[in-house]
Amino acid sequence: MSHQFYFELLKSDEDSHARLGRLQTPRGSVETPVFMPVGTQATVKGMTIDQVHATGAKLILGNTYHLALRPGVERIERLGGLHAFMGWQGPILTDSGGFQIFSLSKCNKVTEEGAVFQSHIDGATLRLTPEESIRIQEGLGSDIAMVLDHVVALPAEREQVLEAMERSTRWAERCLQAAKRTDQAKFAIVQGGLDEVMRRTSAQQLTQFPFDGFAVGGLSVGEPPAEMYRVLDFTTPCLPSSKPRYLMGVGRPIDLLEGIARGIDMFDCVMPTRNGRNALAFTWKGQLRLRNAAHADDTSPIDESCPCLACKHSRAYLRHLFISKEMLGPILLTHHNLTFYQLLMNEARQQIAAGSFMPWLVEQRRILNNGENGTGRP
pLDDT tens string 282-312: 999 999 999 999 999 999 999 999 999 999 9
Q: Is the pLDDT of residue 344 over 80?
A: yes
Confidence class for position 374, pLDDT limits 50, 70, 90: very low
* pLDDT greater at residue 2 or residue 73: 73
Cα 104 from chain centroid? Answer: 18
Segment 8-27 shows an average pLDDT of: 97
CATH class, domain 6-268, is alpha beta
Burial of 14 (0-12, 13-18, 19+ CB in 10 A): exposed
Q: The pTM is what?
A: 0.96
Catalytic residues: 95, 268
Q: Are 328 and 321 in contact (CB under 8 A)?
A: yes
Q: What is the mean pLDDT of residues 88-100?
A: 96
* Average confidence (pLDDT) over 359-371: 90
Average pLDDT on 205-228 reads 96
Average pLDDT, the chain: 95
Q: CA distances (Å), 151 to each of 169, 324, 330, 347, in order?
A: 12, 39, 31, 32
CA dist 177 and 105 (Å) reads 27
pLDDT (average), residues 11-26: 97
Q: 59 and 125 in contact (C-beta within 8 Å)? A: no
DSSP alpha helices (H): ranges in 236-314? 253-261, 271-277
Cβ proximity of 157 and 93 under 8 Å: no
Q: Does residue 376 surpass a pLDDT of 50?
A: no
pLDDT band at 369 (very low <50, low <70, confident <90, very high): confident
The arithmetic mean of pLDDT across residues 244-259, rounded, is 97
Domain boundaries, the chain: 6-268, 276-368
Predicted confidence (pLDDT) at residue 67 exceeds the cutoff of 50 = yes
Give pLDDT, residue 375: 30
Position 377 pLDDT exceeds 70: no
pLDDT digits (tens, 9 = 90+) for 132-148: 999 999 999 999 999 99
SS3 53: helix
As a whole-number percent, the residues of the chain with pLDDT over 90 amount to 95
DSSP 81-103: -HHHHHT--S-EEEE-SHHHHHH
* Percent of the chain's residues with pLDDT above 70: 98
pLDDT at 150 over 90: yes
Q: Which long-range contacts (CB under 8 A, 24 or more apart) does 202-210 make?
A: 202/165, 202/168, 202/169, 203/235, 203/238, 203/239, 204/238, 205/169, 206/169, 206/172, 207/238, 207/239, 207/240, 209/172, 209/173, 209/176, 210/1, 210/176
pLDDT at 370: 67
Stretch 70-77: mean pLDDT, rounded? Answer: 98
Q: Strands across the sheet with 19-25, in order?
A: 6-12, 19-25, 28-32
